[in-house]
Amino acid sequence: MKRTRSVAVSALLLVLVGILGSGFVSVAPGEVAVVRRVGRVVGPPWGPGLHWRLPLGIDRVDRIATDAVRRLTIGQAAPASADREPSAGEFLTGDLNLLRVEATLQYRVSDPVAVAIQGERADELLPRAAEAALSRALGRRGVDAALRSDRLQIAQETREDLQAVVETQGLGLRILGVSLTDARPPSEVAADFADAQAAESRRDDRIQVARAHEAVQRATARARGEAIRESARSEASRTLLAARAEADRFLALLVEVQKAPDLTRRRIYIESVQAMLAGVHRKLILPPGQVPDLTVLGRFTPALPSPPTADSRVAPPRNPARRQE
């Protein structure tokens, strides 16, 4: 009897230990655990490590990966497959053209508690909200912009619009980015769109060439104009310096004239004659007192100073009529 009782107690203890042991929960790095007791969230989420919960289904633990980047594909650029609707991936642009667009959505968990509560609803609502945001972004522009120039703007607008919807619905997600992986017209008009894009590409190439030529011509004209302005400034500076030097020389000469008028006039006369004789290859030596005929020099005959006095030290030449070549 006692042995039977001991066995029963031991079995009961083992069962109790097993029940208590089943309450331990291990949370891996990069994830958190949201505990709900009878449907109600208990405390903040658990971080990585070993934790204990109430067993027997009293506490429910939802592990949420917070550092994982999740991806979702929106639309379909390839032809419709058998497992999807024929119109899947078709979007209407602002100029009433159809496009087949495929985009990739990247997001991660920002509020683990909201994700644990709204998990199934978020999986159903997020794709629809993403397609709606992409439709609104494509509806704001024409088909040419959607296919070529505005792809980055479309992705940015879709991300911002979708993030606003996620926050309004309380899904606990953060939209990291949206990228348009493919965008093409329907296969029925693909050839016409290709020809139109080729023509636009040729037009853009010609525009770029013309702009490059314009930039070169503008730069050349600016350089030429600057060179002309610099040359004019240099010439004006040289002319101004020469005029100032001439004015300073004239003022200095005026001072000398005021000090010794006769001597200054004689010096000016001698300097003038020396300047004229510098370019003459023929010279005449005349005796004192004889008036020289300066017309042979190709110059006008200037007014001569008074003849030298008798005490002049210049000796007359032996042969007055001798000509020196």
Question: Which CATH number belongs to the domain containing residue 165 in this structure?
Answer: 3.30.479.30
Q: Which of 144, 174, 192 is the last residue of a domain?
A: 192
Which span out of 45-54, 219-228, 315-324 was modeled with the highest average pLDDT? 219-228
Same domain, 94 and 167: yes
Round to whole Å and give the CA distance between 119 and 44.
18
Domain that holds residue 43: 13-65
Q: Are residues 106 and 150 in the same domain?
A: yes
What DSSP line would sit under 278-302, residue for residue? TT-S-EE---TTPPP-GGGGTS--P
Per residue in 271-311, pLDDT (tens digit) is 887 887 777 666 667 777 777 666 655 544 444 444 444 44
pLDDT band at 156 (very low <50, low <70, confident <90, very high): very high
Q: Are residues 147 and 251 in the same domain?
A: no
Q: pLDDT band for position 137 (50/70/90)? A: very high
Q: What is the pLDDT of residues 108-122, one digit of tens each?
A: 999 988 888 887 888
Beta strand spans in the chain (E): 24-27, 31-37, 40-41, 49-52, 59-65, 70-75, 90-92, 98-109, 173-184, 283-284, 323-324
**How many distinct structural domains can be found in the chain?**
3
- Of 5, 37, 65, which residue is a domain's last? 65
pLDDT of amino acid 312: 41
| pLDDT per position as a tens digit, 52-69 | 777 776 778 888 888 889
Q: Are 81 and 129 within 8 A, CB to CB? A: no
> Does residue 8 lie within any of the structural domains?
no
Report d(CA 171, CA 305) in Å as an integer: 116
Q: Percentage of the chain with pLDDT > 90?
A: 29
227 and 120 within one domain: no
Spell out the residues 6+ positions from residue 129 whose beta carbon is closer than 8 angstroms to its own. 162, 165, 166, 169
Whether the CB-CB separation of 174 and 163 falls below 8 Å is answered with yes
pLDDT at residue 262, rounded to an integer: 86
Do 79 and 185 fall into the same domain?
A: yes
Same domain, 120 and 40: no
